[in-house]
Each structure stands twice: as C-alpha cells, then as structure tokens.
Amino acid sequence: MEQIPTDEPAKPSASGSTYLIGEALLGEGNEIAHVDLMIGDKQGIVGTAFASGMSNLSVGHTPLLAVIRPNLPPKPYTLLVPKVTVKNMEDAGKIFGPAQAAIAKAVADSVEEGIIPRDKVDDWVIICSVFIHPQATDFRKVYMYNYSATKLALKRALIKYPSLEKMLYDKDRAKHPIMGFKVPRLWRPPYLQISIDNPDLERAKKVIAQLPGSDRIIIEVGTPLIKRYGTRVMNELRQTNKDAFMVADLKTLDVGKVEVDIAYEDTADAVVAAGLAPPETLDSFVHEAKRLGIYGIIDMLNVEDTVAKLKSL
C-alpha cells in the first residue's frame, strides 16, 4: 500500500462547508477495487448530492446505504453507488453483500481510528462510488479490497491527498496500471537522443528493441525513415517500445498545421519543423502543437540569424 503523508487533517472551506474527495485502487484480478468518494456536510454540496442520489434512481446503478449488517449503518451515513451496471441478481449479490459490508466497516473503523473526527459523524455524509467486476467470484477478496480501498480513500480525502508537490513530481513518472503504457513528458534532463535515420524499418525495430527502458531516452524518427514509410512508421516502432518518447523529424517547410495533425494521429510526442520555413508556417506549426498538447521543435540548422528568426515568430 502506498504511504500516506502525515499532513494535518483537512479544514472546512472558506464557505464553512466541508467538501472533500478521495480515491483509491487496490487489489488484483477481477476482484480489484476502485473507490471514488466524497465526504462533507449534510447541509452542503455533498449532502445535496446524497439526497439526490437516494431519490433519483437509475436502472442498474441503484444507490444503497452501506450497512455493517442489516439495520446497522455506520456513521457518517454512506451512500454506495455501483459504477458498473448491475444486470442480474448475481451482480446484485456482490454489491448488497461483500461490497456493502466492506464499505460500511471501513467507515466505522475510520471513525474508531480517528481518521474521521467523532464530532463530525452526525454532521457529515459520504458518497462512495465502487467498481465491482461482473466476473468477480471471490467474495472475501471483494470484501478485503473494497474495505482497504475505502479506508485509504477516506484517509486521502481528509488530508487532501495528493499534495500539489506530489502531483507535479509524479505526473510525468507515473504509469497507469490499466492503460498499460507510459507517456513520458519533458523536461527532466539529461537526455540521450537516438536518431533513427536508416530507412530500413526492420533494422530500426532491432535498434529500438535493444534500448534500455528509460524515460531519459528520446527516439528521433528521422526524416529518411518518415519519407519512406510516412508518419505511420511510429505506430510500427511503438510495437517494439510502447513507452518511448518519439520525435517525428518532419522538417516541415510549408504546411505547418496539417503536418502536425498527421504526426499527432500517428502518436508522435513531438514534431520538428525546419527553421528555414516562413514565419507564418512556423507560427501555425507551433500553435497546432500547443493545441494538441505535443511538443513543437524548430530545427535552426542553416538558419543564418537564429535570434532574428525567433523574433519574427
């Protein structure tokens, strides 16, 4: 389990109403638990959402109160909302059984352990959105994972985790476990840039396959390789290294926006234009790269006055 920083407990907002959010993913296999929750005042936003959730029902996503056992809900009162559509009684049994009990017990234990202040149990309510896989079969694991995830999400909510510093530090280092690949971003030098200029696709794949797994390596898909295969070659190369940061060295000279769009559609992390291109082309190139959220690089090779060129943009 990830370490939780020992921050001070969250305080009410300037409006005087507590409104906190927590999230946690734990476990593995079909029994994996993913919990998103809100905790806050009955008289505030969370209380309004709580009442709305209980009174506005939807097929397959019926909210229910968490209970430790029938006739014994925890405090703060907790509304459980299934994320995945409940299609049959087998699915309902997982929600109304181990998931419901796990969340209720996690809330009660959080009060006992001081995670939730005891003087707030009658003032606050919780809305807990849970993921229960339709193919989950092990009720004990469903219980364990959802108990731990709910408790962790509550801890995180009460300390307003993550901190801004942690978010900014981890945002370009983290890898989402379900997505299955990493999308590196710059700027954390030093970097090793490897230019793949040989227009032989199979040789390019062999070179990339031998590279160590590191987000400090930049792969430049060279102009000769792109001229031979088009920007689609990056999709081919990603079959060999799906986490790589790839630069499409287009050497754009005329149509800035269109070439950026084409490279973007073929998964380029960055694109290169020639500094010899007209300012209008480079302006369009940079604007489109920024709009799409990828890097626009201007190659100043053979540009006589680099400073003047930059000032013209």
CA atoms of 298 and 272, how far apart (whole Å)? 6
Determine the number of helices (DSSP H) and then strands (DSSP E) in the chain. Answer: 11, 10
Nearby residues of 303 by Cβ (< 8 Å), 6 or more positions away: 275, 276, 309
Q: Give me the DSSP letters along 296-309.
A: EEEE-TT-S-HHHH
133 is catalytic: no
DSSP state of 72: B
Determine contact, residues 110/151, Cβ cutoff 8 Å.
yes
Active-site residue, from 34, 61, 176, 287: 34
Q: Give me the DSSP letters along 169-199.
A: HHTTT---TTT-S----S--S--EEEEE--S
Residues annotated as catalytic are 34
